[in-house]
């Protein structure tokens, strides 16, 4: 063992062996109004995340392994899991060419779309129920069919895609066009991302820590699932978060027109006609709360454990 360590010391920089592991970062998501904080529109990246399979773990594992092989970063092991997700068998994965992995990945996706199409043919109502809570639906581009685009559009219309999450879809498409919607979207995203990070903090991975987090971060664990009937709790905590993260938000240039409207509304409600800053803030947060309610789906679309 000592000889192996000495050999490793000769082949790898000393700093890699002796340096301390990176310190965990505070487990919260700082507020930012940027609608594309990681290169994609804020709500669109939430809608198009990798969903995984709850009842077909092996299928998803193979799918992702093909993707990793296609990008030149093949998985080292082939694993087989039982229904609970526990690994029951593991063996070294045989290397395959990137092109072969890419072709298999595409063919698997084509087969999945074919199966979804067959399901729609036999159980259209079931497909409509599933589609009502989704922002996207798989279709196939078939160049041998001159009318494939029209057929795809007709399918989406018949499925009533996203019917239960219209507010979410509208925000995803127009988050950067409406200043109130931009703020409401950013409030929702900040609280959601913080909930994930704070829940993971001080865990086995030691990526995040609860030390150094603002008080509102811990309260995200008490938030209910984000649906229309429960957005009030998100609005209340969002107010606390925004006042801590960005107390002078009303001075933002994007809210110049809105601030004037909030001030006029507060003046009309004030007996003296001279509203306090708190009264103007209340008008602002009333608008944010209304927009959060528009953003929320009518029913729970979150598949994970809340």
Domain membership of residue 51 (yes or no) is yes
Domain membership of residue 306 (yes or no) is no
Residues 192 and 282 in one domain: yes
Domain membership of residue 92 (yes or no) is yes
pLDDT at 35: 55
Residues 182 and 240 in one domain: yes
- pTM, 2 dp: 0.73
Contacts of 155 (CB under 8 A, 6+ apart): 120, 137, 139
DSSP H/E element including 124: helix 124-131
Compute the distance between CA of residue 298 and CA of residue 294 in angstroms, rounded to an integer: 9
Residues 151 and 61 in one domain: yes
Domain membership of residue 305 (yes or no) is no
Q: Tell me how many domains the chain contains.
A: 2
Is residue 292 within 8 Å of residue 235, measured between CB atoms? yes
Residues 237 and 138 in one domain: no
Question: Between the CA of residue 5 and those of 13, 21, 195, what are the distances in Å?
Answer: 13, 19, 41
Is residue 226 within 8 Å of residue 302, measured between CB atoms? yes
Residues 154 and 204 in one domain: no
Is residue 35 within 8 Å of residue 183, measured between CB atoms? no
Of the candidates 49, 18, 1, which has an alpha carbon nearest to the alpha carbon of residue 302? 49
Compute the distance between CA of residue 180 and CA of residue 257 in angstroms, rounded to an integer: 11
The tokens of 116 are what? 């979804």
DSSP H/E element including 243: helix 231-245
Residues 137 and 177 in one domain: no
Tell me the pLDDT of the chain (306 aa) as tens digits: 445 445 544 444 444 344 566 788 999 999 998 755 554 556 665 555 566 677 777 788 888 889 999 999 988 888 777 777 677 888 888 889 999 999 999 999 999 999 999 999 999 999 999 999 888 899 999 999 999 999 999 999 999 999 888 877 877 777 777 899 889 989 998 999 999 999 988 776 678 999 999 999 999 999 999 999 999 999 999 999 999 999 999 999 999 999 999 999 999 999 888 999 999 999 999 999 999 998 888 877 776 678
* Parallel, antiparallel or unpaired: strands 25-26 and 208-209: parallel
DSSP H/E element including 79: strand 77-81
Which residue, of 163, 192, 220, is where some domain finishes? 163
Domain membership of residue 108 (yes or no) is yes
pLDDT at 44: 60
pLDDT at 187: 94
Number of alpha helices (DSSP H) and beta strands (DSSP E) in the chain: 13, 4
pLDDT at 284: 97
Residues 91 and 202 in one domain: no
Residues 142 and 210 in one domain: no
Residues 174 and 132 in one domain: no
Which residue, of 163, 189, 208, is where some domain finishes? 163
Give the structural domain span for 215.
167-295
pLDDT at 16: 39
Which residue, of 163, 188, 220, is where some domain finishes? 163
Domain membership of residue 300 (yes or no) is no
pLDDT at 240: 98
DSSP track, 18-60: HSPPPPPEESS------S-TTSS-HHHHHHTS----SS-HHHH
Residues 155 and 258 in one domain: no
Residues 58 and 158 in one domain: yes
Residues 175 and 244 in one domain: yes
Compute the distance between CA of residue 273 and CA of residue 9 in angstroms, rounded to an integer: 75
Domain membership of residue 15 (yes or no) is no
Domain membership of residue 4 (yes or no) is no
């Amino acid at each position: 063992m000592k000889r192996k360590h000495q050999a490793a010391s000769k082949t790898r920089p000393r700093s890699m062996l002796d340096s301390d592991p990176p310190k965990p970062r505070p487990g919260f998501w700082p507020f930012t109004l940027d609608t594309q904080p990681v290169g994609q529109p804020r709500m669109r990246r939430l809608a198009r995340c990798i969903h995984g399979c709850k009842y077909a773990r092996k299928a998803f594992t193979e799918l992702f392994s093909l993707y990793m092989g296609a990008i030149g970063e093949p998985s080292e092991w082939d694993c087989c899991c039982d229904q609970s997700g526990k690994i029951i068998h593991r063996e070294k994965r045989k290397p395959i060419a990137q092109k072969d992995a890419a072709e298999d990945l595409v063919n698997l996706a084509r087969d999945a779309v074919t199966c979804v199409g067959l399901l729609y043919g036999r159980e259209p109502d079931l497909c409509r129920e599933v589609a009502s809570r989704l922002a996207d639906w798989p279709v196939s581009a078939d160049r041998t069919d001159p009318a494939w685009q029209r057929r795809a559009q007709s399918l989406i219309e018949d499925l009533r895609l996203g019917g239960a999450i219209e507010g979410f879809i509208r925000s995803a498409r127009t988050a950067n066009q409406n200043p109130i919607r931009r703020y409401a979207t950013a409030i929702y995203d900040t609280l959601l991302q913080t909930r994930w990070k704070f829940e993971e903090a001080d865990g086995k991975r030691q990526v995040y820590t609860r030390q150094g987090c603002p008080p509102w971060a811990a309260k995200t664990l008490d938030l209910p699932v984000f649906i229309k009937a429960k957005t009030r709790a998100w609005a209340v905590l969002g107010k606390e978060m925004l006042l801590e993260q960005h107390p002078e938000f009303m001075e933002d240039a994007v809210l110049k027109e809105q601030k004037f409207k909030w001030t006029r509304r507060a003046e009309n409600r004030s007996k003296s006609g001279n509203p306090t800053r708190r009264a103007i803030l209340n008008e602002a947060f009333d608008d944010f709360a209304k927009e959060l309610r528009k953003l929320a789906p009518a029913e729970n679309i979150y598949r994970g454990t809340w």
